Amino acid sequence: MGENGELLISNPFKQGKDGHRMFKFNKVFTPFASQGMLFSDIQPLIRSVLDGFNVCIFAYGQTGSGKTYTMSGPTTSKQDWGVNYRALNDLFDISLSRRNAFSYEVGVQMVEIYNEQVRDLLSNDIAETLGIWNTSQPNGLVVPDASLHSVKSTSDVLDLMEIGQANRAVGSTALNERSSRSHRLVILYMFEGWI
């Protein structure tokens, strides 16, 4: 990794400009970075949800590159928890510590995008496709017909995530025989009120 977050990749099998590609990153974590190190870097962004900001945590990459591990990690040990579990725990802990001044209501939607169709992973009718609306509200894109489930704790959300995961479309790829072949969105809504 060079200065200014630049990384030069050389391909010895290609000549000229095709033999070198420059990529620019805000931050790169080594393979030795722990889940905790990654989370501590994005924690301030996640906490801004409690100040009314919209936050998107997005993992992108090739099958087998570690997206699921980074986002979820193993659930057996808090030390290995991924971003999702750590973020939920942090948000519920903070909302609990502020309970004398603020009340929070939390809701969860879980949808998947598969073959250019949007489906509600927590609905009784998971075959039904949903529409996405672009609103003029600050929330931007919404899936208004997706079911919204009230939750009180991290474990409530994790239970819903298990249900949603079981309802995902699954099909093998050349790289992973159990790849989901879909994109899962876990949408958390936090509604704040004064006490």
From residue 23, alpha-carbon distances to 62, 136, 153 in Å are: 17, 34, 40
pLDDT band at 175 (very low <50, low <70, confident <90, very high): very low
Q: Is 50 exceeded by the pLDDT of residue 45?
A: yes
18-22, 33-37, 42-46, 88-92: segment of lowest average pLDDT: 18-22
Q: Check the annotation: does 131 bind a ligand.
A: no
Q: Check the annotation: does 62 bind a ligand.
A: yes
The H-assigned helical ranges of the chain are 35-47, 67-71, 83-97, 154-166
Residue 80, number of CB atoms within 10 A of its CB: 15
pTM above 0.85, yes or no: no
Q: Check the annotation: does 129 bind a ligand.
A: no
Q: What is the pLDDT of residues 109-165, one digit of tens each?
A: 999 988 888 999 999 887 888 877 776 666 567 788 899 999 999 999 999 999 998
pLDDT band at 177 (very low <50, low <70, confident <90, very high): very low
Q: Check the annotation: does 61 bind a ligand.
A: yes
Q: Check the annotation: does 24 bind a ligand.
A: no
Q: Check the annotation: does 36 bind a ligand.
A: no
Q: What is the pLDDT of residues 89-111, one digit of tens each?
A: 999 999 999 989 988 999 999 99
Q: Check the annotation: does 63 bind a ligand.
A: yes
As a whole number of angstroms, the distance between CA 161 and CA 36 comes to 21
Give the model's pLDDT for residue 145. Answer: 86
Average pLDDT, the chain: 85
How do 149-151 and 129-130 pair as beta strands?
Answer: unpaired
- The mean per-residue pLDDT over the stretch 170-184 comes to 60
Q: Check the annotation: does 64 bind a ligand.
A: yes
pLDDT band at 66 (very low <50, low <70, confident <90, very high): confident
Give the model's pLDDT for residue 61. Answer: 81
**All domains in the chain, ordered by first residue:** 1-30 (no CATH), 31-194 (3.40.850.10)
